[in-house]
A = this chain, B = another copy of it.
Amino acid sequence: MPIKEGDPVVIRIDPKRVYLVKALPQRTLHTDKGFIRLADVIGKEYGSSVQTSKGAKAEILRPTPFDIYFGLNRPSQVLYPKDIAYMIYSSGIRAGSKVLEAGTGSGFLALTLAYFLNNTGKVISYDVRKDMQEAARKNAEMLGFTNIEFRLKDVREGFDEEEADAVFLDMPDPWNALRAAHTALKPSASLVVFVPTVNQVERVALAMQANGFTDVHAEELILREYQVRENAVRPRNVGVVHTGYIVRARKSI
């Protein structure tokens, strides 16, 4: 199916030059390897390639969650794909689920959830900062996600929804939102929390146990990327060594 006007596309020149854009005929993408008129991309197949004005090959790809991640503006990013992947898996959500999350932050988790649900179910993302939500909303619109809603509210005072299939918390004091999460969740459904320090792990895990949650787990994922050359395979030398911890539990009644 060829790319139509308004479709989101990933333009990849090399591993360091990956761009997530909307295919608008009047727009031009400028890079240090030359420019690309997006009008030339419309009508091509995902998986094919074009040339930049300087003759560099540029692959045209269909956005996946990795591209959403790399395409976002991330001023205060701590959530990484490795964490998001495990958080979504752990949550037990699936096509058709109703999912709540706070805070919106860069929007990366909300957008990834919306991607997986693919306009089945619903994602409702809470934050107290309007500016963050505006940026996330624009990204949702560009990506064509219609099943995501942003709400400006402090979840420590409660979610507006009930019978949620999962709640995600990425905020400094998640222990203050546990009662709200418990009320909002379906019985047996999962709460998944992300925190950067061990002290927060201790506090939130113990609070879960004391506040109606069962099957509590605290985990950390370390990702190692490998450089593969013929007869010379080894992990990359330098990289991210820590993002945060994932603490998860299920609501008991």
Contacts and interface: CB of A to CB of B under 8 A. Distances in A.
Interface of A: 12, 15, 45-49, 59-62, 64-66, 81-82, 84-86, 88-92, 94-96, 112, 115-121, 186-190, 196-199, 201-202, 205-206, 214-226, 228, 230-245, 250-253
Nearest to A9: B188
A240 B242 contact: no
B187 A206 contact: no
Nearest to A195: B234
Contacts of A48: 187, 252-253
A190 B231 CA distance: 25
Contacts of A62: 92, 188-189
Contacts of A197: 231-234
Contacts of A46: 186-188
B90 A199 contact: no
A196 B216 CA distance: 22
Given A88-B85, A187-B45, A231 B66 contact: no
Contacts of A245: 226
Contacts of A89: 65, 81, 84-85, 88-89, 112
Given A47-B251, A226-B245, A241-B241, A90 B118 contact: no
B220 A47 contact: no
Contact of A242 (B49, B234, B251): B234
Contacts of A201: 226, 228, 233
A68 to B, nearest CB: 10
Contacts of A186: 46-47
Contacts of A65: 89, 92
Closest 8 CB pairs of A and B: A47-B187, A64-B92, A85-B89, A95-B95, A235-B242, A46-B188, A47-B188, A95-B118
A180 to B, nearest CB: 17
B234 A196 contact: yes
Nearest to A94: B118
Contacts of A228: 201-202, 205-206, 216, 218
A150 B192 CA distance: 33
Nearest to A96: B118
A242 B252 contact: no
A223 B219 contact: yes
